[in-house]
Amino acid sequence: MGLLIDTHCHLTSAGLCEQAEAVLARAAAAGVGHCLTVGQDPADSAAALELAARQANVSVVAGVHPHLAARVAEGWDRELAERCRDPRVRAVGETGLDYHYDFSDRASQQRVFRRQLALAADLGRPVVIHCREAHADVMAALAEFPNLVGVVFHCYSGTLDQARELAARGYWISLTGVLTFKKAEELRQVAKWYPADRIMLETDAPYLSPEPVRNVRPNEPALLVHTAARLAEVRGLGPAEAAALTTANAVRFFGLPPGLGSSDHGSNRP
């Protein structure tokens, strides 16, 4: 297959954090050479950084998930800005809007989202977007920050027409195990059409285990190989080509050292 990068997982989540070393060892054995673990609030981002301090094949995305936007304490943005100055933090996120669950009121989601976009722009960091049933409002907010250095819609699950809007603005998409689901035909159309230099892969572990292991709980980075294989099939690529493409894209988007995809990059820091 070739070496892969899991650009979005939650290694601090229950079910994964208790076995993080084993999870990363299985990932390395499967050919997943690096993982970006995503902090969903200040405490989770701190835990993600602690993990990255122990594991050389882990980097961090730090931010506030829209589900938690109404719960953050005063000063959260200053704390996030300071955390994002750590070189192990490669992007701000995941941030965005979720109008499906509305676990946080929409006003709070909008406020926290825009503050994180401003931080990402000020710090020169890319931003990882969560968008669920909120496409128009997310696009409107992003339009207010044209100087963002990079925008990726993680776990992309929108329509082909929406994907065309993203591509026209130069945004990226990241694909999960949903790409392998039987009913995800439109997403496969997106994966086939989207500009090759702006596609990445992720597990969103512990969620969204891919076919043919969809009943595996929790999902984990090692299972990224199934999504990569489906992407290769959809785009008419060899497995090694798909791996090389998405790994190079991830290195470029997140500013990762090129050697992170190499087979001699160990899982543990000395």
Residue-wise pLDDT tens digits, 176-224: 999 999 999 999 999 999 999 999 999 999 999 999 999 889 999 999 9
Domains of the chain: 4-257 (3.20.20.140)
Give the per-residue pLDDT at 265: 39
φ, ψ of residue 225 to 5 degrees: the values are -60, -30
Give the per-residue pLDDT at 260: 62
Over the chain, what is the mean pLDDT? 94
In the block, tokens 């992720």 appear at 202
Q: Which residues of the chain have pLDDT under 50?
A: 261-270
CB of 123 closer than 8 Å to CB of 78: no
Distance CA 133, CA 170 (A): 21
6 HSE (CA, 13 A, CB side): 36
Instruction: Pinpoint the alpha helices (H) of 73-223.
Output: 76-83, 106-123, 135-143, 160-168, 185-193
- SS3 for 193-208 is HCCHHHEEECCCCCCC
Give the per-residue pLDDT at 185: 98
The helix or strand, by DSSP H or E, that contains position 87, with its residue range, turns out to be: none
Question: Dihedral sign, CA of 175, 181, 182, 183?
Answer: negative
Distance CA 19, CA 118 (A): 35
Distance CA 203, CA 6 (A): 6
Give the per-residue pLDDT at 266: 39
The share of the chain scoring above pLDDT 70, in percent, equals 96
Chain-centroid distance of CA 213 in Å reads 21
Chain-centroid distance of CA 229 in Å reads 18
CB of 174 closer than 8 Å to CB of 191: no
The helix or strand, by DSSP H or E, that contains position 261, with its residue range, turns out to be: none
- Which of 31-57 are b and which e, b meaning 16 or more Cβ less than 10 Å from the residue's Cβ? bbbbbbbbbbbbebbebbbebbeebbb
SS3 category, 153? strand
